[in-house]
Structure formats: C-alpha cells, structure tokens
Chain A
Amino acid sequence: MDEPATPRAPAVYFDGTSSARNDVIVEAGQSGLRILAAPGTGRTLARLLDEWNYAELRRASAPAGVLRLARRGETLLARLEIRDARLAATIEKRAEALDRGGAAERRLQRRVIGLGFAAAASLTLTAAFGLPALAGRIIPFIPLAVERKLGDAVDKNIRAAMDSQHLGTAFVCGANDGEAAGRAALDKLVGKLQAAAALPFPLAVEVVRRAAANAVALPGGRIYVNEGLIAQARTPDELAGVLAHEIGHVAHRDGVRTVLQTAGLSFLFGMMLGDFVGGGAVVIAARTVLRSAYSRRVEAAVDAYSVDLMTKAGGDPRALGVILARIAEDKDEGVRLLLEHPETRERIAAINAVAVTGATRPLLDAAGWDALKRICGSPAKDTANAVR
C-alpha cells in the first residue's frame, strides 16, 4: 500500500463565525482530521485551527469534484471543502458516517419510496371504503335544517344549469292554463308515495321542460322530473317507480352524502396527494372513478328502496325496470339515464329479483294519467313557449 498514514492536501475552510475564506492544509489522521492554517510568508509552523473526528463528519451537498464536509449537530456552519481527490478518497474510507458510494442514501431513498407507495395505497383504500363508511356515520348527526339549506344553495345552481333555454319561471310545468289538471294528478301520485314513505319532511316535486329522460333529487327533498321522462313513461307506475327511486335518494340523504364524500375526496386527492401532474386532471379522474364506485352502491340501494316503496304504495314494483330498459334502448335521441348509473341490465335483474309479483292496480286512474301526460302542455304549445 503506497498510501501514506496521514495524507495531507490543501483545502478551503470556513469556520462558521464569518465568511472569511481560510486556505488550509488538511491532514487525515487515524481518528480524525487536523485543519492547519496554510503557512504564510514568514511563518514556518502550521497553526492548528481545528480538529474534526471522523465520527462527527457529515457530507454537505456540493458540486461534482468537491467533498464538502460539515459536523453533525453543528450550531455553527463550519465547512471544509476538499478538492484533492486522493485526500477525499482517504477521508471517505476512514469516516464511515460519510456513506461512501451512497449506499445508506439509497437505502433511505428506497424506504421513502416504499413508504410513499404504501401511503398512497392506504389513502386510496381509505377513499374507496373509509370515506363512504365515515359519511354514513356522520349523516345521522347532520340536522335536517342544514340539509335543507344545502339543498337551497344547490338548487340555484342546478336550476340554472338545467334551464338551458333561460325560461325562468316558465321552466317549471304545471302553472299555465290547461296544465293545472296535470299538476293535480302529479300531486296525487306524489301524495300516495309520500304517505307510504313516511319521510320526516315534505317533498317538493317539480316537472321541468327538459328533453332528457331523467330525474334528479337534491338534498332537502326537492325532486326535478324532466318532461322527457314523462314522455317516455307509458304507465303511471313507471313514472312512480322513478319517483320512488328519487325519493329513496331523499330518504337515504344521498345529497348530503355526496357533499361529504366530495369534500373528503378533495382533501385526500387534492391536498394530501399533491396535484403532481398539474391541471388537476388526475385528481378529477381519480374522483370520477371513485365516485362512480360509490354511485353503484348508492343506486343499488335506492333501486331496492323503490321496489319496497312501490310495494307499500300498492303499485307495480317492476315498472321501474321496464322504463329503465326502454330508456336504455332509446339511443336514437341519445337520451340515457345518468351515466353514473350502473349497467341497466344488472339493475333490472336486481329489481326483478327483489320485487314480489302479484296483481297490482295502477297508482293513477286513466283520466289522471292522461292529465299528467299533458302537464307541460301540448308539444306545439311547448315549442311556442320556447321561442317566446
């Protein structure tokens, strides 16, 4: 071995009390470094500035080709910069804490990556299963007054979004001449369902001038039924089945559930896990996937509720399945029930599995159904309304 026992080389030393640059000679001994002032003119003996033990050395970040040393637990920011490759190699060999080759650093990094991966998986599972469970526990403690206020706030936005033709008050059917009978028939139908449902607060069902065969329930008991849904329904029980489905959302307080879950998802995927891609699209994608997973469970529960409620009210519990099938087939006009709903076939099968068969009487008589079909006036009059 041609390596000297105590190799020495010039280096730069900052003592941490001032920014003065000290040109020094560093001597790598067996247990530590000796930092000696470089002999200036007229001085022959090198003065000892400091002694650093190998055990207390720490590598500070530096450009390639420089070994920058600091001391562990330092209060002063003393730094020693060694550019001499041979001296640096010796120090790295003798001071194990310096992690020559970066094995410890890589180990730490692997641990961080592993833990990060585990944390991401844990947060995703929390979002998929923990959030719905938590929301279910919290909902009973939310007063109905808060839910109604929430519903009012949502209502403004939902109505503005649905009323694409800016009809204003004319957006709701049943107020014009010749529509009152339809409104009365609707109230009768809703009344029967409401009596069977025994909800703690009244429902507010409105039919609106919108072509898509759909209905929507808001927090607080407000339900909007599209004109297009009534056009698709062939019997009062088909409409009642959909209404019972929406009443199920109200009874299960799904509006509040959605708000709680959305807030939870925003927290988990918007804040804890950073928006690392930018633009928020991955956050939105993750939320959409998880929301549709939630929605499958929620919709299945509400379909079962509809069957139960229709049976209690004396209507045909299978009618919901019939109208769902018709709407799913009607692709010419592109009308489809909400995309978030689970596969229609599965839903119909589930409905028919729980529905008890037996002779039922329609929930509205022929005259009432006739009136209800005209709650938004005749098609010709409707077009005139839209232009006006």
Chain B
Amino acid sequence: MTAVATTADGVIPRQTPASVKFLGREAAYWRLRIKGAVLLVFTLGLYRFWFATDVRRFLWSHTEIGGETLEYTGLAGELLGGFLLAIAIVVPLYTGIAVAALALDAAEGVIAGIAFVLLVLLGQMALYRARRYRLTHTVFRGVRFDQHGAAWRYALYALAWWTLIVVTLGLAYPWAQAGLQRFKMRHTSYGDLAGSFAGSGTALFLRGLPIWLAVFGPLVGAFVALSRMVDWDALNRMIAAGGNSPLAVLVGGAGAAPFVVAGTAAVASILAALSLYPLFAATMMRWWISGLRFGAVSVRSHLRTWQIYRIYLRFVGLLTLFLLALAVIVGVGVALFNLAVRPNRDVAELLTSTFTVILYVVAALGASTIYQVAVTFALWRQSAQSAELSGAAALAEVRAAGAPSSALGEGLADALGVGGI
C-alpha cells in the first residue's frame, strides 16, 4: 500500500476515495504491546501514559480513509498532566464523601447512594471529555475532529438511560445506545462538517432480541417455574410465626427439584452468553459503523459475523496455548529447583510467595496483551477493512475548525477507573 507509484509527470495518483483500509501489521503491534507491558511492570504502571500514546499513534496512523491516514497528535505529557489534575479533584471528593459518611448521622445508605450517583455522573463526564480529547487530537488531511456539548448534560442523559437499562433487564439497551450515540455524534464534527448518527434503536432491538431471549430466557423461565413450586401458604405461616429462614420453607416441599431447575437455567444462560457474545459484538459493531454520518458522507459496514467468531476463537486458542506453556515452564522449573537446591522451609515459603506474585503478573499481563492484540487490534482492523464510505467527495472540501482540548477527562477516567487509557 505504501509503495510509491508515480505517473510520468511525477504526480501521485489519487486513490479511490471510498475505501477504508488498515495498514498496520500485527507483528509490529505485538512488539509494541509486549514492550509496553514489560515497561508497565518496572514502572508500576506509571508508563501507561506513554504506552497509551504509542498505541494510539500506531492505530491512528495505520488507518487509511480514502487514501489518507489519520494522525494522533496527543502527547503523553498531556495525559500525565490531565491525570494529576484529576487526582486534585478526585482525592478531595473521596475525602469529602468519607467525612460526610462519618460526620452526618443520616442513614449511611443515603450518603452511599448520593456518593454512588455522584461518582457515576463524574465517570460519565470523564468518558465524554476523554472522547473530546481523542477527537480534537485526531487530524485527518490537515483538519482536526472536534466535539462540543456539555459533559454534565451527557452524564445526566447516560445516567437516565443506564437506569432504564437496569430496570428493563437490558431490553432498553438498543434505544439507550441509539440515544447516546446520537448525542455524541450530533456534538461531533470534522472541521466544519457536522456529524450525526442514523442508527435506529428499534432496528438494533429486533436484531438483538434473539440474543437477549437466549441469554435471559432460561433465567426468566426458571424464575416462573420456581415461583410455582413455592408453597406460598407455608411461607406465609412461617413469616407470620416470625421465622427467619424462608429458604428452608422454599426448599422443604420440593426436594432437589428447585436446585436442578435453577442450576440448569444458570448453566444454559452462561453457555448462551459465552457462545453468542461474538454475534452480539458483530451486531453492535455493524450497527454502530453503519450509523455514522459526517455531512453527506455516510459509512456502511460489511462486517461478517463469522469474522468476529474467528477473532474470538483465535483469542481463546492463543490464551490456552499461553497458559499451557506457562504451566509447563513453571512445573518443570519448580521440580528442577526442588531437586537441585532442597531449600529449607522458611526460604521455600518466601520463594513460593515471591514466585506466585511474579507468576500472577506474567499470566495476567500476558493474557491482557494477547487480548489486546488478538481481539482489540483484530476488531479495529476488521471493522476498518469492512467499512465503506459513500459521498466521500465531501471529505475533500472541509474547512478547518476547533481547537485541541485538555486531557482532564482522560485523567478523570483513569483516576476513577472507568477506562479510557
């Protein structure tokens, strides 16, 4: 793709404007990820700002839209600054909550509830502001992306939707996604080209309903079946008598049957969730990409479900191989060490605990690195490759607008542990 092809008069030919490509090679990404993981260990995680910047530079600069690649202009120092600023906000907030919980005699539940809502709102604000940082530090054809709109407004909107999702056992999720994506894209622009979102919540609901039924159906069914098994009279008598062990009555009449029903339903639900997750991911990704609009430019995703299944299966395979290899190395190592050294008990205990921690770090970081490459990177590449732009001519006549934003949102998201970096 990067080979130079020049015509006779020395001018680079224009490439077809409608395609999206991903030029990054997986081997290079593996190197980037492994090096970053090692440095994270030795700096106890402080390297994460530089790591995130390197990763974004790689992913952005290898994503090509209509022959031109994206550019990430954010700096690690900015992320660090945003994080330190966030610490200055979050620490007094946590302290305030702790002091309030001790000082006020109002029911602890009230304070905990208020604190929870406050932190959820702050987390959503952080995510919205972090998105703004990433967009305003994304440059395409010499023009930056932008996001406006008040973060607190988005946070309230998101809180309302997520409450509804919980209340409806996830059935409101498609409309929530549509609403939140519309909010985000309406406030997104590329230069003077305004963004919008055309995905429909109802369409997503219809596509997702079979998945929901397969995952939640067994649980709902089991709940109905169990409520029929309960001897309600006995339960009422027991409660009236002041007994405090409702489970004994619930189980007493029916023997092992309730456990069988509940267990079968739980296993069926978990199996359905695991095996349908790639389908869910593919459905979401297709729906989201196909809904993106910038002015007259629209995107269509030709992502295939089997491609996503292949990605997840490959991840499971690689993870299994990695863990097996680790187990073999550790087993052989321990056996050889015990044969060769025969340490006394105190030394053995110390060594065991030290190696357990090291082993845990290696296993966890290895697994997360494999996930990042085999899933995150592969999803990015696959989604980019399968996207198609129409009306892309409009991308060539955009006026520059907007200014880079601060990294406070990224820092807040990091400090609150809601993701981001």
Residues on A lying within 8 angstroms of B by beta carbon are 9-12, 14-21, 23, 25, 38-39, 60-66, 68, 76-79, 83-85, 109, 112-113, 116-117, 119-120, 123-124, 146, 149-150, 153, 166, 263, 267, 270-279, 281-282, 285
Contacts and interface: CB of A to CB of B under 8 A. Distances in A.
Nearest to A17: B400
A18 B398 contact: yes
A267 B91 contact: yes
23 contacts: A10-B6, A14-B141, A14-B142, A16-B143, A17-B399, A17-B400, A19-B143, A21-B68, A25-B10, A62-B69, A76-B142, A77-B144, A79-B139, A109-B50, A112-B47, A112-B76, A113-B39, A116-B44, A120-B45, A153-B101, A281-B364, A285-B357, A285-B360
Contact of B368 (A19, A146, A278): A278
Given A18-B400, A60-B71, A146-B102, A276 B45 contact: yes
A265 B41 CA distance: 18
B47 A79 contact: no
B45 A79 contact: no
Contacts of B399: 17-18
Nearest to B356: A285
A150 B102 contact: yes
Contacts of A76: 142, 400
Contacts of B191: 18-19
Contacts of A77: 73, 139, 142-144, 400
B233 interface: no
**Residue of A16, A116, A270, A275 ringed by the most chain B CB atoms within 10 A:** A116
A353 to B, nearest CB: 22
Contacts of B90: 271
A276 B143 contact: no
Nearest to A277: B364
Contacts of A271: 87, 90-91, 415
Nearest to A116: B43
Interface string B167-192: 00000000000000000000000010
A300 to B, nearest CB: 19
Contacts of B10: 9-10, 25, 38
A274 B68 CA distance: 35
Contacts of A116: 39, 42-44, 46-47
Interface string B261-305: 000000000000000000000000000000000000000000000
Nearest to B245: A166
A65 B2 contact: yes
Interface stretch (B54-62, B201-209, B336-344, B380-388): B54-62
A82 B408 CA distance: 35
B397 A18 contact: yes
Contacts of B141: 14, 19-21, 79
B48 A19 contact: no
A166 B421 CA distance: 44
Contacts of B71: 60-62, 68, 79
B4 A277 contact: no
**Residue of A21, A23, A79 ringed by the most chain B CB atoms within 10 A:** A21
Interface in B105-148: 108, 139-144
A153 B46 contact: no
A282 B365 CA distance: 11
B12 interface: yes
Contact of B44 (A120, A149, A267): A120
A274 B37 CA distance: 13
A14 B64 CA distance: 16
A372 B108 CA distance: 37
Interface in B361-398: 361, 364-365, 368, 395-398
A292 B40 CA distance: 25
B368 to A, nearest CB: 6
A82 to B, nearest CB: 10
B11 interface: yes
A277 B361 contact: yes
A124 B44 CA distance: 10
B72 interface: yes
Contacts of A263: 98
A271 B398 CA distance: 41
A218 to B, nearest CB: 15
Given A19-B141, A77-B142, A279-B364, A38 B47 contact: no
A351 to B, nearest CB: 22
Given A18-B399, A120-B43, A149-B102, A281 B360 contact: yes
Contacts of B410: none
Given A63-B61, A79-B141, A112-B50, 9 more contacts: A16-B142, A39-B9, A61-B57, A62-B71, A63-B62, A65-B3, A77-B143, A79-B142, A273-B44
**Shortest 10 CB-CB contacts between residues of A and residues of B:** A14-B142, A116-B43, A65-B2, A274-B45, A276-B45, A120-B44, A19-B141, A116-B46, A19-B398, A61-B57
A20 B98 CA distance: 55
B407 to A, nearest CB: 15
**Residue of A19, A25, A83 ringed by the most chain B CB atoms within 10 A:** A19
Contact of B12 (A12, A146, A166, A270): A12
B46 A18 contact: no
